[in-house]
């Protein structure tokens, strides 16, 4: 299969991009070609002024069942270090545009770590998530240990990572791993609905919300509140703030331009 076919790029609308992982023969296992293409396409969409939201999905039966074991089984530590696969996920987490993951079926290991790069995760009811790396003699290396512990707490994260067990969409929702659960087979449709809602909002505000929430989580509360305060004040320099408040007063729908 050609590299170009391993990630299918679609426009759901003029302002929403869908990136679909397409390696059905290996349950969408994440090889370097897929990681590179995802990072490249997210970077491209992030720099495109017409794009307001990005959705990443797999198929209706699997999001991504993990890293491509065939690429790493015989690798040595220097080779693994030189690959530095974490750099691809960093592009996703640092993208200024909202990123939504639509998860159906398996999201395991690197697949779950990919989903955790998103700002919002919509999981189908039949989704199965987990970090099973310990079962093949390694541990999560794409952010899984740290991100999961921050989401669910140390004790539960230790249980999930040390046993490598899978958990379903309902449990993932109760733990705060996913944002919303959709009927099986409808995760992508629901993700696109949410993307449409976000795309209708003022882009500058959305970008600032993403930035200050992410930065604030790694800062003391007083510092985080200062970041929020400064970002709030800067909104009053935008045309969208004037348009939004004027539309509210005039009881009409605002038209945001990202200016």
Residue of 29, 67, 172, 195 marked catalytic: 67
| Residue 81: pLDDT over 60 | yes
Residues 6+ apart with CB under 8 A from 157: 145, 148, 149, 151
DSSP one-letter code for 58: -
Q: Which residues contact 194 (CB under 8 A, 6 or more apart)?
A: 100, 120, 122, 180
- Residue 1 — pLDDT band, cuts 50, 70, 90? very low
Q: What distance in Å separates the CA atoms of residue 92 and residue 14, rounded to the nearest whole number?
A: 21
pLDDT at res. 157 = 97
The closest alpha carbon to 64, from 137, 12, 125, 7, belongs to: 7
Q: Has 110 been annotated as catalytic?
A: yes
Q: Which of 46, 65, 101, 113 is catalytic?
A: 113
- C-alpha to C-alpha distances, 169 to 41, 118, 142, nearest whole angstrom: 27, 16, 21
Residue 113 annotated among the catalytic residues of the structure = yes
What is the structure's pLDDT at 82?
A: 77
Q: Do domains 3-199 and 203-249 have the same CATH topology?
A: no
**Across residues 51-70, what is the average pLDDT?**
92
Among the listed residues 162, 134, 166, 133, the one whose alpha carbon sits nearest the alpha carbon of residue 149: 162
Instruction: Kindly report whether the global pTM for this prediction surpasses the value 0.85.
Output: yes
- Domain 3-199: give its CATH architecture: Alpha-Beta Complex (3.90)
The predicted pLDDT at position 3 comes to: 46
Domain extent listing, the chain: 3-199, 203-249
Contact between 43 and 9 (Cβ < 8 Å): no
Q: Can you give the pLDDT at residue 2?
A: 44
Q: State yes or no: is 215 an active-site residue.
A: no
Contact 20, 50 (CB under 8 A): no
**Could you give the dihedral angle defined by the CA atoms of residues 44, 25, 121 and 111, in that order, rounded to the nearest 10 degrees?**
-90
CATH code given to domain 203-249: 1.10.12.10
**Confidence at 70, pLDDT banded by 50, 70, 90:** confident
Contact criterion met (CB below 8 Å) for 134 and 220: no
Which residues, in sequence order, are bridge partners of residue 8? Answer: 20
pLDDT attached to residue 54 = 98
* pLDDT at residue 84 in the model: 80
Percent helix, strand and coil across the chain, each to the nearest 5 = 50, 15, 30
Cα(12)–Cα(25) distance, rounded to whole angstroms? 25
The reply to whether 133 belongs to the active site is yes
Supply the pLDDT for residue 80. 78
The rounded distance, in Å, linking the Cα atoms of 72 and 84 is: 12
pLDDT in tens, 222-249: 999 999 999 999 999 999 999 999 999 9
pLDDT tens sequence across 94-122: 999 999 999 999 999 999 999 999 999 99
Determine which one of 58, 110, 111, 142 is catalytic: 110
Q: Which candidate in 46, 64, 123, 133 is catalytic?
A: 133
Q: What is the pLDDT of residues 162-209, one digit of tens each?
A: 999 999 999 999 999 999 999 999 999 999 999 999 999 999 999 999
């Amino acid at each position: 299969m050609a590299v170009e076919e391993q990630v299918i790029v679609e426009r759901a609308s003029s302002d929403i991009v869908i990136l679909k992982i397409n390696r059905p023969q290996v349950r969408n296992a994440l090889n370097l070609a897929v990681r590179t293409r995802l990072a490249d396409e997210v970077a491209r969409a992030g720099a495109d002024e017409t794009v307001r939201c990005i959705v990443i999905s797999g198929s209706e039966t699997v999001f991504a069942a993990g890293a491509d074991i065939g690429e790493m089984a015989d690798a040595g530590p220097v080779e693994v270090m030189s690959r530095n696969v974490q750099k691809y996920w960093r592009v996703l987490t640092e993208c200024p545009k909202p990123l939504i993951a639509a998860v159906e079926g398996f999201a395991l290991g690197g697949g779950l770590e990919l989903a955790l790069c998103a700002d919002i995760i919509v999981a189908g009811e039949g989704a199965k998530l987990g970090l099973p790396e310990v079962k093949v003699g390694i541990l999560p290396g794409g952010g899984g240990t740290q991100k999961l512990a921050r989401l669910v707490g140390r004790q539960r994260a230790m249980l999930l990572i040390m046993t490598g067990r899978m958990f379903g969409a309902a449990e993932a929702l109760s733990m705060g791993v996913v944002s919303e659960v959709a009927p099986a087979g409808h995760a992508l449709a629901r993700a696109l609905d949410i993307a449409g809602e976000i795309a209708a909002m003022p882009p500058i505000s959305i970008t600032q919300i993403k930035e200050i929430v992410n930065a604030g989580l790694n800062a003391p509360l007083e510092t985080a509140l200062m970041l929020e305060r400064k970002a709030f004040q800067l909104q009053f320099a935008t045309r969208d703030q004037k348009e939004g408040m004027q539309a509210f007063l005039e009881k009409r729908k605002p038209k945001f331009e990202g200016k």
